[in-house]
Every structure is written in structure tokens, then in C-alpha cells.
Amino acid sequence: MSSELRYTANTQTEHLHARYTGTGHADVTKYDWLTHQHRDTCASIVGHPPLASYLAIADGESIGRVKFEMMERMLQPCGPPPPKDDD
Amino acid sequence: MDEQPRQLESYTAPKDVLDELTQLAEEEDFDPFAETASKRQVASRQSDYQKRRFAIDRDGGVSKDAFKEGEDGEGEGTGYKDAMRLARLEQEEQRVKRAIAEKERKEKEEGEKEKMDLDKTPPREELEAAAAEVATIRKKRRWDVGEPAAADDAKKAEAPGEWSKEALENAAPKKRRSRWDATPADVGAGAPGETPKRSRWDQTPVAGQPSTISAPILFPQTPIPGMGFMAPDGDKNNRYLSDEELDAILPSAGYIICKPPDGYAPIQNAARKLMMTPVPQFGGFQIQDESDAAAAAAAAGLAPELPTEIPGVGSLAFFKAEDAQYFSKILKEEDETELSVDELKERKIMRLLLKIKNGTPPVRKTALRQITDKAREFGAGPLFDKILPLLMERTLEDQERHLLVKVIDRVLYKLDDLVRPYVHKILVVIEPLLIDEDYYARVEGREIISNLSKAAGLAHMISTMRPDIDHVDEYVRNTTARAFSVVASALGIPSLLPFLKAVCRSKKSWQARHTGIRIVQQIAIMMGCAVLPHLRNLVEAIAHGLSDDQQKVRTMTALGLAALAEAAAPYGIESFDAVLKPLWIGIRQHRGKGLAAFLKAIGFIIPLMDPEYASYYTKEVTVILIREFQSSDEEMKKIVLKVVKQCAATEGVTPSYIKQDILPEFFKAFWVRRMALDRRNYRQVVETTVELAQKAGVAEIVGRIVNDLKDEAEPYRKMVMETITKVVASLGASDIDERLEIALIDGIISAFQEQTTEDQVMLDGFGTVVNAFGIRVKPYLTQIVSTVLWRLNNKSAKVRQQAADLTTRLAVVIKQCGEDQLLSKLGVVLFEQLGEEYPDTLGSIIAAVGAIANVVGMTQMQPPVKDLLPRMTPILRNRHEKVQEASINLIGRIADRGAEFVPAREWMRICFELLDLLKAHKKGIRRAAVNSFGYIAKSLGPQDVLSVLLTNLRVQERQSRVCSTVAIAIVAETCGPFTCIPAILNEYRTSELNVRTGCLKALSFVFEYVGPQSAFYCDSVVTMLEDALTDRDLVHRQTASTIVKHLALGVAGLGCEDSMTHLLNLVWPNCFETSPHVIGAVMDAIESMRVALGPGVLLSYVLQGLFHPARKVREVYWRIYNALYLGAADALVPFYPDLGELSDERNVYDRHPLQMFI
């Protein structure tokens, strides 16, 4: 089709996607991708009460504590980021 | 004579044939674009006022950049001081001229008395005195002209600008040029290096030219070889015949060529010889030399064709004769090695400009980029020296102007502060855009000036424009005020405020105050509510102008306040506190124009007030308003009407006040026949009356004017009708009592019958009033319908059409009143009229029949539907859009509600006719036709309709095929998919590509429309989709992907996962397509699979390629992943792979919470 479309139609959706946290691109690192997965997991547990209570029972903690810990974990779920290569 | 045999008249073609032939020949020469061509020229559209830019001399030359002076000592160009001095000189000059003119006039008046008695020839002394005057002025003019040596100097110093030091010293005498400059002799003697310099006095054709290049230079002394002397207007049809041409025409023997007498010298000064405006052939500043001759010849139109191929530029979209003078240097081949760097640069700029102005879009684009990139390299001077004269060209067209303005815009951005010396030059060219009639030109002008002010800075802008603020010419002051308002909006009002305050208080000249106040007015108009933060300051800056000595200043102040109040509405009344008193006192003191402006300001301020204040001040102003009702001044009338409207709309003004104090006088003054004659008055009166009615009520207003519906003047009746329409439409008719009701209906009927030109106003009025009355109109219906019936049989097509339109509007009310008898009577008459030959009328008649059928219903319809429909079939073939739309609406209605009354065969006939309607341009018609297929199929059963539609897939026209596919889908929706899908699948087996694509498309619409029902059919279509998705043809796969999308969305959650997985496997490989539509469809299909199969399944597909070694693969997979993630981030959590094995001493990737179990 028209060249206009080639440049706009699909790049726009990509652009749109890039505005959201958690989306990735061809050069994403293992650490970044997995960090997002872990955060999503934590958020999912906080957001689904049955899941939170299941974990609370398994851990022997209160539900509130589980939620709190999940929340705290979201900061750096997989540990500190790998050191940056200087080159 | 008599002996000779009588000759027969020769036999020849009949006269009309010959006439036709000549007419044909003429038509061939006829240029249909001739008219528009001249319209494209900016100057040809402009008013005299706008054209004054050509007459006013404002070429200020290059100015000094005050900020640069520290660096290079003596800055080039003139500074603010010089500019102001010159401005003052010019004013003085103007004053002296006025004084002289005044004196002359007086002398003439006195002299005339004496001369009456004296001899008719003027006395010798007078002549001598005049000669002496000429002589003295000649002497003075030496400054202007310069001795030959001085002129040479001027030539050497390339464009020294006349504001160079010496020139400045001489400026005073030079500026005192009088109307004597206008004689061609003076122009001829003008120094070639001089920048064009004109004054308003230059009314003679030569001097009126944009560039005053002397005629002898213009037309080379030595005739161009073989070309003869050419006419100066560049029209090749007007040139003299050359010797060669004469030789060719005249016989060689028997003639001798006379030698011209010894003393003869041809008059070189073309302007004196031919009183026509010569085209300024050679732009700007160069001297005509030998090598330019060819270019000059080309410029003069001697070359048979204008070039479209310029060396170093390439081919152009067009080339005008006027372009040649500006681009003459690059029109010929020359040895570039001999040129200096500056000359090379100049040529480069010219080439780029020519490409931008006349080139094709791609050429233009690259040239624009180049000129932007190299702007700083070229420098401001060389660039603007070339661009600005082009913009002042009289034959400039919209497109060219737009492009050149764009160039300036881009270049400005790059040059930034380098532009300072040229600010005034640019302003002179750009300011006229601000008063252009074209909105986009104004916006462009604003943008340039705003960028200019950002680049040059406020201080420089002010010092550049300050001299123009009290320029003698109103045009200059007007445009300068507008430019200043743009500067204010670009740099912020606060930064300009101190300057504005000072200007508005200027003691030196009232012009400065006037312009200052006008700047405030323009700021208000341009910035709207953005003035609010500075409202008090702005009002204070101009408030004192209300008590100025000069009437013009007072008027402008009032207009400025009006603009500020309008911009601030509905806030900011507190800022106007200071001016309320002077305004209200002023309206008692002033008369005429000044009063009109004051009233206007009051009209805009009153709506800002609190109700009680508004009421008080309205009462104050009403006295004056009522007095001015009598005014004969048109402008005053308009303003008074507007103020009355504004006052009436405010909350504080009570209905009783309006009824008692305003209405009687208002109706006496404005509801007269004369007001209906002028279009603008008419509208104002109607609007104001409607506004008054909002307060005073329907009965009050309608009661006052209802009798005028029977007035003898038609425009007046129309005005009454329009007012009643608007009042009744907004307020209803419940206030109207019985007596008024009788009068109103009576008036409306008579006005309707009396009309000589069929007008929408009368029609709307009738419809609105009757509908507002509703059931109350019953007693009059017989009379109304008989009027309609009578008019339906009128001789004039327009009258019949209007009667039919009225029927359409009355149908609902007639039904409400229970007068079915009348409706069927109308129906029958309209039915008989279906043979109407005028399409517009026919359309209205059909629409009227449709309206009656709507309210009566198909069973009661008279004439019966079974008679009506066969009558409609042939009408469907009518190509007229209105007829098509009306008939398809009627037929669709019948098919929907009363299909059973018509035999099946008739419906089939209509089906075939409907196919043609699928080609209609109007979307509404196509949609109605497609829907009609659905209704018809519902009543007939789908088989026949479907076969018609499937056959239609074979036609060539794409639009027709597309509409057929939609119609098939609608049939499938109304009659159940099982009736269509087998037929479509069967049709897909044909080898014709168009048909197969059509089938796919139809299926895609079918699944889109039937939704969850698709679950029953998805297994049936899988094999066909397999075939389509593995086809070589891209479009096939694209359409198949669309089907998969609709199918998947339809069957989500209905247990078709097996076939969906199968389809996903077929769709998936297409994700590497690059064609935008295909990839779009494929991505959509994959996304809908997320809904049908769940995100987990999709994730397992995506994971395969997220970290693929090939970037191309990764990019596509990540795009799919992102879509998946955005659609179902939370649902993906359980499906992420367990990547605990990637953990190292630094990071742990196990998702421990998910590994717990009880």
C-alpha cells in the first residue's frame, strides 16, 4: 500500500506499546525481562486475594504480611541489576 | 454586366454548420483555467487597501544589530536613531506637502475668480514661475541622482544601502522629493545602484513599479541582434517585427529599405512612448550587460517557449515570464570558474529558490532541506536579498507565496540572531500577510513574525518597529499594530507592557497613541481569554484614551475596550471599573462614529456585569440607544442592534423593562421594510428580535409582527417569517392564544401563497409553526391541504417541489390530528405525480410519499403498496442522487414493513435494480441499498437474492463487489448463516480470483455480523481457510486472516479450541509479512487468538523467538509479545517459564511464591 502507511500504521502501535512498563524490545536483557515477570507475579498475588491467602497459609503468616512482603519485593525482585559493561 | 450570364450562387454549407465550426475553433482556444489562473494571483484578489503595500515606500534597508556592536565596532546598517530621524523627516515632508497642497488649492480658488475675467491662456508669469520651480527642484535633486561619478561609486559599492553614511547626510534634501519625481526623466536618471525608492506620489505607471530600474538600462541601447526592439510588457505578441521577419513577409523585389532620417533617434524610454506598465525585467540591482542579452530576450518573451529546463536546476513544474527577471543570472550557461565566491553563492541560492518555487514536490523538498542546512553558511544578507524581492512580486501566486514564506520560516530558525539586520525588511514583506483575506496566509504571517521576534529579541523588535508606529500612512500603522500584537503573543504581554504604556501616552503624536491602543485591541482579538491575567494592566494602559483630544484615538480606545471585554467574557468586570464612568459619560457627549464605538464597548462590557449592575447600566444606556434608533447611519444601526441584543441577553434586564421601554421604539425603528433590503441589517434585526423574544415571550413578539406576514413587500415578509420561525422553534407555541393563532396561521398561509420565489425560509416557517401547534392546527388543515394540493398541480416545477417538501413536513401533524382522509388524498395526488420530469421535484415527491407511508403504515397506505412499488421500479434507474436516495429509502421501508403486499417477482426485479445503486457515490444510498437486500431476502427467502449477489461478484467494479459482499453478509445475518455459507463455499471453488476474494470478504463480514453463531460453522470453513491461508496471493492470506480474526472472536469460550489451534498454526508463519495491510490483519488474527485460546498458548508460541539470534525475528516476536502482554499481563503470570536455573550469585530468578504448595 501507500508508503505513508508503511511508516505510520505499524510503527505507531509499536510506539504505543513502548509507552507501557513491562513491554520489551529486541534488545532487552534477561535481567530486565525477568524482573518484570517477577514484579507481575508479586502484583498478581497482591491483587488476587485467594492467591494471597493461599500463600499466607503456606507461609504461616498473616495475609497482610504476605501482601506487604510482596510489595517490598517488587523493588528489586531479582536482586541488584548486573554491572554495566563499560565498553 | 447584363450580358454576362447570371451566376448561380455557389453552393456552400449551411450557415449554422459554418457557425458551429467557428465556434468549435474558438472553443479550442478557450482556456477553462484562464479565470482561475488570475485568481491564483494574490494581488488580483486583493482590495485597494491591501494593494497599498505596493505604493507605500517602506524599504528601510539593513539595520544595525545593536547587540553586535561591541564585537566589530562599527556595525553595518542604520540604527534606531537614524530610523527615527528618517521617520520624522518623512512626517515633516508629508506635512509640508499637505501645506503646499492646501496653499495651492486656496490660490486656485482665488485665482479662479480672477481668471474668469482674464484670458483663457494662463498668464506668462505663472508659466515662468513654474519653470523656475522646476529648475530649483532639479538642483535639489542632485543629491538624489548624483553626478555620474557618484553613480559609479554607488555601483562599485555593491548595494551600499541608501542609509550608508553619506546617503544619510544627504537624506534630508533627497527625501524632499516632490511629485516631480514622477516624470520619467527622473526615473531614467536614477542611479542603478539605488535601492528602489518610491513614494505615494508615484502614480504614473513607471514609477509605480516595484523596482525603479531606469528605462535606458532596462532596454539595451543596442538592439538585440535579430530581435528588433521589443515592447516592454514582455508580451511576445506585442513586440515589433524584426528585420528577418519583415524580409520573410514582404516580397524581396520592388521594395527598398528606407534609411531613417539623420536626426532620428528612437525613443528609448518606453514608458513615455507606451503608456502601459512595463514589467520590470531585470530584478534588483544588476546592470544589464552584453552576456545577459540572451536571458533578457528570454525574459521578454522572445524565446518561443519559456524554459522548463534550467542548467544546474533541472526540470521545473512551470516557469513564468516574471521569473526570468529574478533568475536571469542562472538562466544561461556561464563559466563558473571565473566567478567569485560570493557570486557563486548567489547563484547557488537562486537555483535553490527556483527549485523551491517552481519545482516538483520532490525537487522542492530536497532544495528546501539544502537551503535550510546551509542557511548560516549563505548568510542572512544574500538569502534575504533574493527571497524578499520575490515576495513583493505583483504576479505572485498563493502557492509560491506559501513556499517562499516557508523558506523564510525555516531559514529564520537556522539563522537565529543573525537575522537582526533584516528584521525590518522582512517585516515589510510579511506584515501584509496579516491583513490577508486568506486565513492560512494570516496564520503563516503570524508564525513568521513570532519566530522573528523570538530570534531577534524584544528590544530589537521594538527598536525596528517603533518608527512605523507613527508612520504617516494609516496602512503602515495598521499592519505594524498587528505585527506588534503578534510579538506580544510570542514574547508574552508582560514584557511588552511598559512599552505599550509609554506609546499609548505618547505626547508627540496622536498617531502613536492611536497605534498603541490599536496594538492592545489586536492583542485582545488575537489572544482571546489569554489576556485575562493582564487585563487590568491593558485596560489601564488605554483607559485615558477615552478622553483624548483626537476623535480617532477615542474611537480606537472604545474599540480596544470592546475587544478586551469580548476576549475576557464572562470574567474580568473588575478590571473595567476605571472606564465605566468615562464610557457612560462619553455616550452623552459624543455623536456619530465616536458614539458608535462607545456603544460597542458598552455592549461588550454589560454582559460581564452582575445582574443588578447590568440592569442599572442598561437603563442608563437605553436612553441613548433609543435616540440612536433613528440614526440613518448604517454602521450605527448595526452597532445599536448588537448592543440591544447584548443587553437583552443579560440576566439583570427584566422582561417588563424590555416590553415597556425597548420594544415599542425598537419595532417602530427597525421593523420597517427598508431593513429587509440589506442582507446584514436583515440578519441583525432577526437575531436581535429573537434575543428580545427570549425575555419578552413569543406572544409579545409574534403579536407585534404577525400582521406583517401580509405585507406587500416580499423581502419584508420573509424577514417576518424567519423571525417567527426562530422564535417559535426556540420557545414553542403554547403562549399563543386563540386570536393570535388564527392570525398567525392565516398570515403564514397567505405569505406562503404570495411568495414569488420559492424560498427555504417560507417552507421552514410553515413546517415549524404547524408542528409547534400540533393538534391545535386541525381546524385549518383542510385549508392548508387544499393549498398544497393546488400548488402540487402548479405549472412551475419549483412550486410543485416546495409543495411536496411541505407535505413531508406536515405528514406527522396531519396524522396527529386524525385526518387520515386528507393524507390518503395527498398520497393519491402525489402518486399521480410520480411521472414528474424534473429530478429535484421528483425526489421531493418521492420523499413526501415516503413520509406519508411512514405515518400511515403499509396496510392503510393509499395508494396501496402493491401499486406503489411497481411504479417505483423504473424510477430506481434515475441517476439523480436526490431521486435515488428518496426512492431507496421508500423501497427499503416497504421491504421492511410491507414486503408481503408485493409479489415476489416484483421484488426480484427490484433486486436487479438495486445492484446499480451499489455504484452510487453517496454512502447513504449504498448503505440503504445494502440494507434493502436484507429486508427483501427476509421476505422472499435468501436463495434468489443470494444468487443475484453472488453473480454480482464477477463484475469489474470494485465498489460494486465490495457492496455485494456486505449485502451477502446482511442476508446471512437476517436469514441465518446456514442459508449463505454453503453457497459461498461453493462459489469459492471457481477459479476466478475476484470471485474468490469476494467470497472471502463476504465470509469475513458474515462472521463479523453473526458473532457467537459462528461456533456452528467454524468446522465447515476450516478447510476453505486452510486453502486461503496457504495461497500464494497476499490479499487472500490477508482476507483469510481477517476471517480468522472475526471467527476467533466469535467462538471464544464456545469450545472450538481444536480448530482454532489449527488455524493459528496456519496464520502464524505470516507474522513475518511486511506489507502493512497484511501484517495488520495477521497481527489482529493473532491477537484474537489470545482471546480464543488464552494467553498461555500464545506465550508458548512467542517464547520460541523472543531471544532468537536473528534480530528480524526478535523484533517481530517482541511486537507480538508486547501486544500479548498489554492484553493479558496478569493472566500470563502462571505461564512464564521457570528460569531458576539462570540464577547466579548476584541475582535469583526463581519465583519462589509460585513454588509453594500446601
pLDDT tens-place string over residues A26-37: 889 999 999 999
Element (H, E) at B847: helix B839-856
Q: What percent of chain B has pLDDT over 90?
A: 45
Residue B813 lies in a domain: yes
As a whole number of angstroms, the distance between CA B525 and CA B1133 comes to: 58
Q: Give the pLDDT band of residue B41 (cuts 50, 70, 90).
A: confident
Q: How confident is the model at residue B686 (pLDDT cuts 50, 70, 90)?
A: very high
> Which residue range(s) make up the domain with A54?
24-78
Residue B557: the pLDDT is 95
- Chain A residues with CB-CB distance to B1122 below 8 A: 14, 17-18, 20, 23-24
Q: What does the pLDDT read at residue B540?
A: 94
How far, in Å, CA of B807 to CA of B815, rounded? 12
Question: For residue B535, which amino acid is it?
Answer: L
Smallest Cβ distance to A79: which of B1077, B1129, B1146? B1146
Write the DSSP assignment of B600-640 as a string of letters: HHHHHHGGGS-HHHHHHHHHHHHHHHHHHTT---HHHHHHH
**Closest listed residue to residue B1154, CA positions, set B1146, B1139, B1144:** B1139
Q: Where does B544-608 have alpha helices with state H?
A: 551-568, 577-589, 592-605
- What is the average pLDDT across A33-54? 94
Residues B500, A81: Cα–Cα separation, whole Å? 59
How many domains does the structure of chain B reveal?
1
pLDDT of residue B135: 53
- Which of B261-270, B541-550, B629-638, B1059-1068 has the largest mean confidence? B1059-1068
SS (H, E, C) B265-301: CCCCCHHHHCCCCCCCCCCCCCCCCHHHHHHHHHHCC
B738-774 pLDDT tens trace = 999 999 999 999 999 998 888 899 999 999 999 999 9
The pLDDT of residue B1103:
95
Mean per-residue pLDDT, B1020-1037:
94
Is the pLDDT at B68 greater than 70? The verdict is: no
In eight-state DSSP terms, residue B900 is G
Which of chain A's residues have a Cβ under 8 Å away from the Cβ of B1146?
79-80, 82
Spacing of C-alpha B715 from chain mean position:
31
Q: Which residues of B touch A44 (CB under 8 A)?
A: 1130, 1133
Rounded Cα distance, B1045 and B617, in Å = 68
Label residue B65 by pLDDT band (50, 70, 90): low
Q: A17 and B1077 in contact by Cβ < 8 A?
A: no
pLDDT value, residue B85: 79
Closest-CA residue in chain A for B1109?
A26
Residue-level pLDDT at B1137: 93
Tell me the pLDDT tens digit for each residue of B881-899.
999 999 999 998 998 888 8
CA distances from B1090 to A36, A58, B398, B1054, B1074 (A): 20, 32, 53, 14, 22
Residue percentage of chain A with pLDDT more than 90: 54
pLDDT of the residue at B26: 60
Residue with cell 382522509: B821
| Angle at CA of residue B115, ends B110 and B116, nearest 5° | 105
Q: What is the pLDDT of residue B815?
A: 93
Handedness of CA B877, B883, B889, B895 (dihedral sign): negative
Contact B1153 A57 (CB under 8 A): no
pLDDT over threshold 50, residue B71: no
Name which residue leads in pLDDT, B559 or B959. Answer: B559
Q: Which residues contact B1016 (CB under 8 A, 6 or more apart)?
A: B977, B978
Q: What is the mean pLDDT of chain B?
A: 82
Tell me whether residue A46 is in a domain.
yes
Residues 6+ apart with CB under 8 A from B77: B61, B62, B63, B64, B65, B161, B163, B421
Sign of CA dihedral B58, B61, B65, B70: negative
Mean pLDDT of B202-218: 42
Alpha-carbon separation of residue B492 from B485, B486, B557 (angstroms): 10, 10, 22
Q: Is residue A54 assigned to a domain?
A: yes
CB < 8 Å to B1080, chain A: 9-10
Q: Which residue is listed with cell 500584537?
A: B485
Long-range pairs for B197-201: beta carbons < 8 A, 24 or more residues apart: B197/B57, B197/B59, B197/B162, B198/B55, B198/B56, B198/B57, B199/B57, B200/B55, B200/B56, B200/B57, B200/B473, B201/B177
What mean pLDDT comes out for the span B271-289? Answer: 45
Condensed to tens digits (0 to 9), the pLDDT of residues B1120-1141 reads 999 999 999 999 999 999 998 9
Show the domain range for B813. Answer: 777-872
What mean pLDDT do residues B44-51 have?
77
Q: Is residue A10 one of the residues assigned to a domain?
A: no
Which residues on chain A are in Cβ contact (under 8 Å) with B1118? Answer: 24-26, 28
- Given a contact cutoff of 8 angstroms between Cβ atoms, the answer to whether B582 and B543 are in contact is yes
pLDDT: is B288 or B852 the higher one? B852
Task: Say how many C-beta atoms besides its own lie within 10 A of residue B858's C-beta.
Answer: 19
Q: With beta carbons under 8 A apart, name residues in chain A contacting B1071.
A: none
**Touching B: A residues 44-83, CB under 8 Å:** 44-45, 47, 54-55, 57-59, 70, 78-80, 82
- Give the model's pLDDT for residue B529: 92
Q: How confident is the model at residue B270 (pLDDT cuts 50, 70, 90)?
A: very low
Measure the CA–CA gap between B560 and B719, rounded to whole angstroms: 33
- Tell whether B847 is covered by a domain: yes
Contact call for residues B251 and B230 (beta carbons, < 8 A) = no
Q: Is B97 inside a domain boundary?
A: no
More reliable by pLDDT, B144 or B846: B846
Instruction: Note whether residue A87 is domain-resident.
Output: no
Question: How many domains are there within chain A?
Answer: 1
Q: Which residue in A7, A8, A15, A38 has the most chain B C-beta atoms within 10 A of its own C-beta, making it the best mutation to test that interface?
A: A38
Comparison of pLDDT for B142 and B443, the residue scoring more: B443
**Per-residue pLDDT, B145:** 42
Residue B793 lies in a domain: yes
| pLDDT at residue B778 tops 90 | yes
CA B284/CA B329 separation, integer angstroms: 12
Residues paired with B309 in a beta bridge: B315
**Domain presence at residue A6:** no
Distance (Å, whole) CA B480 – CA B500: 13
Q: Is residue A55 part of a domain?
A: yes
Cell numbers for B547: 478622553
Residues sharing a CB contact under 8 Å with residue A6, sequence separation 6 or more, in sequence order? B1076
For chain A positions 12-51, those within 8 Å of chain B (CB to CB) are 13-14, 17-18, 20, 22-26, 28, 30-31, 33-34, 37-38, 40-45, 47
To which residue does cell 491477537 refer? B1087
Inter-chain residue contact A79 with B1147, CB threshold 8 Å = yes
Closest listed residue to residue B871, CA positions, set B899, B856, B890, B848:
B890
Cβ pair B935, B895 in contact under 8 A: yes
For residue B677, the SS3 value is coil
Q: Which three cell numbers stand for residue B359?
A: 519545482
Are B240 and B231 contacting, i.e. CB atoms less than 8 angstroms apart?
Answer: yes
Look up residue B238 and give its three cell numbers: 506585442
Q: What's the pLDDT at B45?
A: 73
Q: Name which of A3, A7, A8, A13 to mutate to probe chain B: the one with the most chain B Cβ atoms within 10 A of its Cβ.
A: A13
Alpha helices in B1011-1075 (DSSP H): 1018-1029, 1034-1051, 1057-1067
| Residues B928 and B883: beta-carbon distance below 8 Å | no
Residue for grid cell 457627549: B589
**pLDDT for the residue B758:** 84
In a domain, B855, yes or no: yes
The predicted structure's pLDDT at residue B130: 56
- Alpha carbons within 13 A on the beta-carbon side of B70: 1
| pLDDT tens by residue, B445-502 | 999 999 999 999 999 999 999 989 988 889 999 999 999 999 999 999 999 999 999 9
B492 φ, ψ to 5°? Answer: 95, 140
B855 close to B815: Cβ distance less than 8 angstroms: yes
Q: Is position B593 within any domain?
A: no
pLDDT of residue B159: 41
Q: Which residue has the higher pLDDT, B171 or B541?
A: B541
User: Residue B640 and residue B637: Cα distance in Å, rounded?
Assistant: 5
Examine the pLDDT at B826 and tell me if it is beyond 90.
yes
CA atoms within 13 A on the CB side of A62: 3
Q: Which residues on chain A are in Cβ contact (under 8 Å) with B1084?
A: none
pLDDT bucket at B64, cuts 50 / 70 / 90? low
Residue B297 has pLDDT above 60, yes or no: no
How distant, in Å, are the alpha carbons of B587, B604, B624 from that of B555? Answer: 12, 15, 17
Global pTM exceeds 0.95:
no
Three-state DSSP state, B67: coil
pLDDT on residue B134 = 52
Position B838 pLDDT exceeds 70:
yes
The answer to whether B536 touches B524, Cβ cutoff 8 Å, is no
Q: How far is CA B221 from the centre of its chain?
A: 48
How large is the average pLDDT for residues B557-567? Answer: 95
